[in-house]
Structure 1
């Protein structure tokens, strides 16, 4: 009997210890679930049950329970009734996680949109697509690539689009998704942020050697030498932990912070600029905050991405989400249809020229696709690269826009090719290499 009591006591202590150490994680689980649900329902027009059965079917997140309210456009989540979190959708701004400061924030200022009349087909307009067969494309071989991308349920591919010579030569969606379904890009959003800086540079409003901390006297000799270039290349030397499977810098920022531009700004320097390369979503949101500082008003900041990029190239489905302080969360939260994500890739394939109108300089493409020191040739300036041949069967001029769960825009200039893949499961380099190899084989 004593032995049984001892074992029960040990088990009880184990349960208490596990609860103690994991209780803070509940905040992140319910925060993720409520934010995901609110955005998916009110931005992407998806059914709550579909989100639960698919998007939330992942470790820890599947422990959450969600409820949606159409009265205030919100979603609430908890874990076995513990640590409830609420996210509210605001028109034009996306879904925001609420906290004790929620009532203090002003959601009346929203971005103006700059839609133009649709008179042209994809990609330079939204008036349908060209019904054209390209002579140099073997559509039977291309069909094999599509079949392989969707046949394995574990790959969880949601959409695949192939654009060659500015024309869609292949497009497919999983059941429940169409060309009108908005899909979260996750970290593909980071490349949008970089593009906004490219636009400012082209307009003569920003230089990459600008030092955003230069006027902060207390940071002299610490942060004062950090430039925009260092931040875009993730080599600022500022401390940051990018770990989504525990309470870390990135999870605290995304699911606890009211102002996400401060998380990286407030970090200590651990190395001189260029000395180390450290991927950081906090750096991207810091850059979003610095971007806001370039405008006299909040309205100008909110309008800029739509006026100078998003609506200018007809990515009209796209929506950028903000934090509680009205800062764009450009590390993670941009939604758009697969076709509009493809337009972004085509803008880079066409070196910043959009149907005769220049959005950013041609040299900007060379800048973002030049390998960053200490990144082992895999990273440029908020774009990913194949410079080290991680996709061995694909030309090294490939550069890409990458996001969590295998969101990708592959840009291959030598093949005049853009490939967009979205899904719910990360793919290995080998899997992506095979997909791209099969697609390229269909083009002569």
Structure 2
């Protein structure tokens, strides 16, 4: 009997120690969980007008984010989340700037800031150059049945594939378009890391308009007196700066601390030490993109000019009027992750690249910029260029090899296929483990005998 009690005691003690250890190791993660939940609830509600229960059931319905308890204050335009009553976080919406998590040392009023200037004048031209209906066009080079079959397949078993939108544009004509239930052509969807490609494009425009040199050393004061002084803007675009960085969303890492704790996201990568010489080691880093977003700010005489630049020179210029680039608490664009737009406007972004920077006669950036973003970065297995992903026989073996694309978390894609005069957009909530991008894109491209 004594032995039984001793065994029972030791067993209980063992489980208590496990619980203590689990609590100790997971407690710091609660702030990241509540931060993700509050930020996403806020953005979905105030950028795309989604109900809180819809966001909880869809956008936030994955572990461990679905542990959060959420609420929305319509008057204050805030969203608040906690986990088991712990680590409460609040995000606030600012018109024109999107949502931002409120830092611990800030109050809501501190985050009301200047707005970018928007030019939203409608144009009486058909898509993509205006708001009028496109002319019905039937191309003899297209197998429309195969296109439709491929698009329909993208929405089958959608509790697993989680496709939200598909758009296929051939020769500037929409030849297929479909949305998941409750979404439509006016729904603004988060591009996640596709925003990196948007941020890169701003530098392409800066190079074309002002002669900005991407081969020059990055203008980071703290790097001047050590080996980081050799890091160029091109190295940053190629994700081979050599700086320390951990991009792991499954745990507390550099990227999760940046997105859900940092007030100034542009500083996080800048404060990292060199682990390798530049241009010798590829390491994908969202911190690198946010550093570039902060460095872009230095190219303007005022903060208002910085805010206006993406909209004046890119977004509203090509009619991507739905797009919102969210800023961090320090006012920098979160170029790594937080770009929102309708599916059609994401398609316009792809068309700009398909047309080599020319938008209906308006040249936004030099054709050589395409060469830069599509040239493989050193040591990237030829999969990555200048903030765009590149096709390889291992990536999309049955799609054209000249395909390049913007790529975001949970399977956001804007594919540019020059050899087919084609742009394909797929937006969703599940990535490669649950969605066959090779079958999807090859099914569409093989239906076009261009």
- In the alignment, what sits opposite 1:346? 351
Please show how residues 26-425 of structure 1 align to structure 2 within 5 Å: 26-103=30-107, 105-153=110-158, 154-213=160-219, 216=222, 219-425=224-430
- TM superposition outliers: structure 1 runs of 4+ over 3 Å: 213-216
Shift of 1:180: 0.1
Please show how residues 426-437 of structure 1 align to structure 2 within 5 Å: 426-428=431-433, 431-437=436-442
Shift of 1:443: 1.5
What CA distance in whole angstroms lies between the structure 2 residues aligned with 1:10 and 1:389? 47
CA deviation vs aligned residue, 1:95-142 (integer Å, no higher than 9, x gap): 110122323735231100022332111111122333322222221111
Q: Which runs of 5+ in 2 are unaligned?
A: none
Q: Secondary structure at the match of 2:410?
A: helix
Note closer, same or farther for the CA distance 1:389–1:417 as it changes in structure 2 (3 Å cut): farther
Greater CA drift, 115-124 or 361-370: 115-124
Answer whether contact 1:377 1:388 (CA < 8 A) is retained.
no
Answer whether contact 2:59 2:429 (CA < 8 A) is retained.
yes
Answer whether contact 1:105 1:325 (CA < 8 A) is retained.
no
Please show how residues 6-45 of structure 1 align to structure 2 within 5 Å: 6-45=10-49
Answer whether contact 2:413 2:425 (CA < 8 A) is retained.
yes
CA deviation vs aligned residue, 1:15-73 (integer Å, no higher than 9, x gap): 11110110000000000000000000110111111111111111101111111110111
Q: Secondary structure at the match of 2:175?
A: strand
What CA distance in whole angstroms lies between the structure 1 residues aligned with 2:121 and 2:96? 18
Q: TM (normalized to structure 2)?
A: 0.96
How many residues are aligned here? 443
Answer whether contact 2:80 2:90 (CA < 8 A) is retained.
yes
CA deviation vs aligned residue, 1:289-316 (integer Å, no higher than 9, x gap): 1000000100000000000000000000
Answer whether contact 1:214 1:220 (CA < 8 A) is retained.
no
Q: TM (normalized to structure 1)?
A: 0.97
Note closer, same or farther for the CA distance 1:321–1:271 as it changes in structure 2 (3 Å cut): same
Shift of 1:430: 8.1
Answer whether contact 2:220 2:270 (CA < 8 A) is retained.
no
Note closer, same or farther for the CA distance 1:263–1:410 as it changes in structure 2 (3 Å cut): same
Note closer, same or farther for the CA distance 1:106–1:80 as it changes in structure 2 (3 Å cut): closer
Answer whether contact 1:214 1:225 (CA < 8 A) is retained.
no
What CA distance in whole angstroms lies between the structure 2 residues aligned with 1:301 and 1:261? 14
What CA distance in whole angstroms lies between the structure 1 residues aligned with 2:183 and 2:434? 25
Q: Which runs of 5+ in 1 are unaligned?
A: none
Greater CA drift, 206-215 or 148-157: 206-215
CA deviation vs aligned residue, 1:366-391 (integer Å, no higher than 9, x gap): 11001111000100000000145521
Q: Secondary structure at the match of 1:77?
A: strand
Q: Secondary structure at the match of 1:278?
A: coil
What CA distance in whole angstroms lies between the structure 1 residues aligned with 2:406 and 2:177? 19
Shift of 1:221: 3.8
Answer whether contact 1:38 1:89 (CA < 8 A) is retained.
yes
